[in-house]
Amino acid sequence: HMAQNGAVNVEKVHPPEEDVRSEREMTDDVFDESYHEKKGPKPATVYVWRNIILMSLLHLYAVYALWLIPSTHLLTSLWAILCFILSGLGITAGAHRLWSHRSYKATLPLRIFLAVINSMAFQNDIYEWARDHRGHHKFSETDADPHNATRGFFFSHVGWLLVRKHPDVIEKGKKLDLSDLKADKVVMFQRRFYKPSVLIMCFIVPSVVPWYFWGESLYNSFFIAAILRYTMILNATWLVNSAAHMYGNRPYDRNINPRENHLVVFGALGEGFHNYHHTFPFDYSTSEFGLKWNFTTAFIDLMCYLGLASDTKRASKDIILARKIRTGDGSHKTG
Ligand code: ST9
Ligand code: ZN
Ligand code: ZN
């Protein structure tokens, strides 16, 4: 966004030419070069002990749950995997690609389904998740990024959920355009009934199904399909914020930290092509390679085929190639 004379336009950092979303759609996930961190000492870190204790207990119980697996019904483990995939899609296809980035459109029945499985993932309600996530892209790796990866692996992984937010996260976050989320009745309904929806979808349903249908003990199914599965989906998601901001190539933009991390791609249902994703946040596939290793893209394509989704946005091959040549690290062959 350099003007003719080389001055940076700070009025409005509008989406680059590459963005295929129209002006009317949300574009507040585009990196804002006009924001600068405040000078002077950083505010002190304030621990939230309640979160530290609960997160520690959750992880201890998840380790304990591993010991129960050999003595449970095989179907219970398969059910836990299904719950992992469903709650994962509630994050990737729902909170992330639909609600944070508006990279495709979804009909009411699909939005309801995505909101229900989003509650199964228990990662804050969709509104809060998408607000924090737009801030993460717009102010990436600064004080206003909720999980600023320059504060280290642990902070961007889980530490940010255990301390008070940096004041700039809230100050800049309040200025984000969230009008599309406020106008979405499904998002606001899920926000209003978030606690009961989590109780039902994240804990009760995963525990009761194995008990009712194949006589598993409630104790076992609670530990495996609720506690262990929830802990795994949290860590799979958090690895995008930690590992995929530290380890991997940068074929699209060598000037930013997010990277292409193939281990994360696998665990996170296609969400580890993170250098690509920060470069082209509007792309519904979060990857140059479409369906390849991308379970979430396959799911969205299936929804389009069923008539439940439409308007999938993609970056064109030409634009991707031009961008690789201009700012890539050379790890992809371009010539
Ligand atoms: C969880 C979320 O795990 C994980 C998100 C990961 C994102 C990943 C992204 C990667 C890409 C996608 C890949 C997906 C891959 C998936 C793979 C699946 C297979 N803007 O929050 P408070 C306001 S959650 C504007 O209390 P504190 C707020 O509205 C896990 N405003 O801040 C409020 O105002 P008011 C479970 C903001 O006190 C006020 O500020 N959940 C913003 O600093 C205070 O808000 C937890 O563990 C903003 N950005 O506390 C709960 N933020 O009073 C964790 C805040 O007017 N959260 N505001 O309403 C908490 O306990 C607290 O938020 C805190 C901070 C302690 C962390
Ligand atoms: Zn994103
Ligand atoms: Zn990121």
pLDDT band at 13 (very low <50, low <70, confident <90, very high): very low
Pocket test for ligand 1, best of 122, 160, 165, 235 (most atoms within 8 A of CB): 165
Q: How far apart are CA 8 and CA 39, in angstroms?
A: 20
List pLDDT tens digits, range 83-119.
Answer: 999 999 999 999 999 999 999 999 999 999 999 999 9
Ligand nearest to the CA of 281: 2
Query: Residue 327: pLDDT above 90?
Result: yes
Q: What tokens appear for 222 in the block?
A: 């609670």
Residue nearest to atom 60 of ligand 1 (CA): 161
List pLDDT tens digits, range 17-45.
Answer: 678 887 667 889 999 999 999 998 999 99
Which residues, at least 6 apart from 44, have a Cβ–Cβ distance to it below 8 Å?
none
Ligand nearest to the CA of 125: 1
Q: Among the atoms of ligand 1, which is closest to the Cα of residue 84?
A: 19
In a domain, 72, yes or no: yes
List pLDDT tens digits, range 209-237.
Answer: 999 999 999 999 999 999 999 999 999 99
Q: How far apart are CA 242 and CA 157, in angstroms?
A: 5
**DSSP H helix total and E strand total for the chain:** 16, 2
- Tracing tokens 């994240």 back to the chain, one arrives at 202
In a domain, 237, yes or no: yes
In a domain, 30, yes or no: no
In a domain, 25, yes or no: no
- Average pLDDT on 48-52 reads 98
Q: 213 C-alpha to center of ligand 3: Å?
A: 40
Higher model confidence: residue 62 or residue 335?
A: 62
In a domain, 99, yes or no: yes
List pLDDT tens digits, range 236-255.
Answer: 999 999 999 999 999 999 99
Residue nearest to atom 25 of ligand 1 (CA): 173
Q: What tokens appear for 334 in the block?
A: 């371009």
Residue 30 corresponds to which amino acid?
V
pLDDT at 27: 86
In a domain, 202, yes or no: yes
Q: Which of 258, 234, 263, 232 is nearest to 246 (CA)?
A: 258
Rounded to the nearest 5 degrees, what angle is found at the Cα of 36, between the Cα atoms of 31 and 37?
A: 115
Q: What tokens appear for 48 in the block?
A: 């939230």
pLDDT at 16: 64
Q: 124 C-alpha to center of ligand 1: Å?
A: 7
pLDDT at 23: 66
pLDDT at 230: 98
SS3 state at 105: strand
Domain residue limits at 294: 49-327
Q: Which of 269, 285, 267 is nearest to 277 (CA)?
A: 285
Residue nearest to atom 55 of ligand 1 (CA): 170
pLDDT band at 121 (very low <50, low <70, confident <90, very high): very high
- Average pLDDT on 170-180 reads 97
In a domain, 290, yes or no: yes
In a domain, 264, yes or no: yes
Cα of first residue to Cα of last residue in the chain, in angstroms, is: 26
What is the number of structural domains in the chain? Answer: 1
pLDDT at 334: 79
Pocket around ligand 1 at a 6 A CB cut-off: 48, 51, 88, 91-92, 96, 122-124, 129, 131-133, 135, 146, 161, 164-165, 169-170, 173-174, 233-234, 236-237, 240-241, 268-269, 271
Ligand nearest to the CA of 280: 2
pLDDT at 190: 98
Beta bridge partners of 260: 249, 273
Pocket test for ligand 1, best of 56, 139, 170, 283 (most atoms within 8 A of CB): 170
